[in-house]
Amino acid sequence: MHFMYFTEQPMSAYDSKKGLEFGATALMFSNSHFDPVAGSRLYNEYIEQYKLAEAVNFDGIMLNEHHNAPFCMQAKANVFAAVLAAVTERVKIVMLGNPLPLADNPLRLAEELAMIDMISKGRLVSGFVRGGGQEQLATGVNPAYNRERFEEAHDLIVKAWTQPGPFRFEGTHYQHRVVNPWAVPLQKPYPRVWIPGVVSRETIIWAAKQRYPYIALNTSIEATKKIWETYEQAAQESGYSSGPENRGYLQRVHVAETEEKAVANARQFMWMQGEFTGLAHPVWSSPSGYFSPSQRRNFVEFATGRAVSPRGRPDFQQQLDDMQIIAGTPKTVIPKLRRILEETRPGIMALWANDGTVSHADSKTCIRLLGEEVLPALRETGAKLGLNSPFDNNAPVGIRYSTDLRKPAAAAS
């Protein structure tokens, strides 16, 4: 199995009361609430925490990116990836991921990622995402072409990584008359691509058709099983069978030396005021054209307060009961995490361990306990269940590099 450490990198030093008063902690919530002095301290604490995660035997560090919001300080995940490429030695640097549609020049991403792969000596996992609804507005990108831009930018980047230049690329959204970046990835044919997601069926199917692992972001056990069914169906149609190496799962878990402290700190998973990614504004988080037309009516009703969020919004206790959040000492969290592994059977697991105002000291304790006491137990379970990661299985990077397909891979493009 592949275990990675994750934090949203919260900008926890803002006055959360102001967010409640404003009614949203996204997009239009003024950056006058951002404190760069605290920001500087927090960035450096996060670097220290990542280094500790490597020291206590995590296999990877998972990074992400968001804009105009306190819940995530990474406005450019590649910046942190570049830092980690230099200050760590062994861990995989797992981008989950770069929001492709936000890029007006995807070749720039191809270059940055190639540099990170070379500097890290081949430790990059280059996940890609569509970016949230409000990210489109924060960067002035048309939400109505989000999925088209995602797929086209992906195709351009992979082509730039695998086909010698110079060549010309004439797409619908991207036109480049000269493609010839003088930075290409160290890993061949190209760095592994993992695709994280929450609700979009289209993304699950797209990932399966590419044979890219799909990372379910803290979805309920039941929803996760449905995701794997959808993935497996698309995998079968593409000529292969999916297994644990195609599946990743992100779990919120906080560990401390006492139960009480663990639960108190785990409450900080709710510091985003009950929402998965901060107190969302229903209109800004679901701009027209961003969601699948099949979801149109649901999101329209949500945006006008006529229905609850299609993403759901359970309270803290409910999330503890459903193991959406797990908190405790190593002894009490291990059986719960084992149950998650048994139920969701991923080859890749991300542990989202610290959020909100959890102190630097408590974050480090949590990382240490996870690495020293929890991971060994989970690795044992993973081995018993045969939960192999793409690295364990030497799985093909993408469908084009498969040697076991039941029919030609022509369908994937």
Distance in Å, CB of 283 to other proteins, minimum? 5
Does 300 participate in binding other proteins (rule CB under 8 A)?
A: yes
Does 188 participate in binding other proteins (rule CB under 8 A)?
A: no
The answer to whether the beta carbons of residues 321 and 177 sit under 8 Å apart is no
Distance in Å, CB of 173 to other proteins, minimum? 11
**Nearest residue to 83 via CA among 99, 95, 71, 72:** 95
CA distance 370 to 351: 9
Does 142 participate in binding other proteins (rule CB under 8 A)?
A: yes
Q: Which of 143, 278, 347, 398 binds other proteins (CB under 8 A)?
A: 143
Q: Which of residues 239-298 bind other proteins (CB under 8 A)?
A: 282-284, 287-289, 296-297
Indicate the residue among 93 and 137 with the shorter CB distance to other proteins: 137
**Nearest residue to 255 via CA among 358, 341, 345, 350:** 358
Indicate the residue among 142 and 233 with the shorter CB distance to other proteins: 142
The answer to whether the beta carbons of residues 220 and 324 sit under 8 Å apart is yes
Which two three-digit tokens encode residue 279? 């107190």
> What helix, strand, coil percent values describe the chain, rounded to 5?
50, 15, 35
Distance in Å, CB of 289 to other proteins, minimum? 4
Distance in Å, CB of 162 to other proteins, minimum? 29
Indicate the residue among 160 and 303 with the shorter CB distance to other proteins: 303
Does 308 participate in binding other proteins (rule CB under 8 A)?
A: no
Indicate the residue among 114 and 303 with the shorter CB distance to other proteins: 303
Of the listed pieces 93-101, 302-310, 315-323, 329-337, which binds other proteins according to CB under 8 A? 302-310
Indicate the residue among 16 and 142 with the shorter CB distance to other proteins: 142
Residue span 52-91 as binding mask against other proteins, x where in contact by CB under 8 A, dash where not:
----------------------------------------
Which two three-digit tokens encode residue 117? 């792969």
The answer to whether the beta carbons of residues 197 and 216 sit under 8 Å apart is yes
Indicate the residue among 297 and 407 with the shorter CB distance to other proteins: 297
Residue span 3-42 as binding mask against other proteins, x where in contact by CB under 8 A, dash where not:
-------------------------x--------------
CA distance 156 to 116: 18
Q: In one letter, which amino acid is 117? A: D
Which two three-digit tokens encode residue 9? 């990198």
Distance in Å, CB of 103 to other proteins, minimum? 15
The answer to whether the beta carbons of residues 254 and 219 sit under 8 Å apart is no
The answer to whether the beta carbons of residues 44 and 363 sit under 8 Å apart is no
Paired sense of beta strands 214-217 and 348-354, if any: unpaired
Q: Which of 170, 306, 361, 406 binds other proteins (CB under 8 A)?
A: 306
Does 173 participate in binding other proteins (rule CB under 8 A)?
A: no
Distance in Å, CB of 49 to other proteins, minimum? 36
Which two three-digit tokens encode residue 272? 């985003």
Q: Which of 1, 84, 107, 137 binds other proteins (CB under 8 A)?
A: 137
Distance in Å, CB of 282 to other proteins, minimum? 8
**Nearest residue to 356 via CA among 268, 244, 291:** 268
Q: Output the CA torsion 23→26→32→36 (10° steps).
A: 130
Q: Which of 75, 144, 178, 308 binds other proteins (CB under 8 A)?
A: 144
Does 145 participate in binding other proteins (rule CB under 8 A)?
A: yes
In the chain the first and final C-alpha atoms are separated, in Å, by 29
Cα maximum dimension of the chain: 60
CA 277 remoteness from chain centre: 12
Does 373 participate in binding other proteins (rule CB under 8 A)?
A: no
C-alpha dihedral sign at 226, 230, 232, 236: positive
Does 304 participate in binding other proteins (rule CB under 8 A)?
A: yes
Distance in Å, CB of 155 to other proteins, minimum? 18
Residue ranges that bind other proteins, judged by CB under 8 A: 28, 137, 140, 142-145, 282-284, 287-289, 296-297, 299-301, 303-304, 306
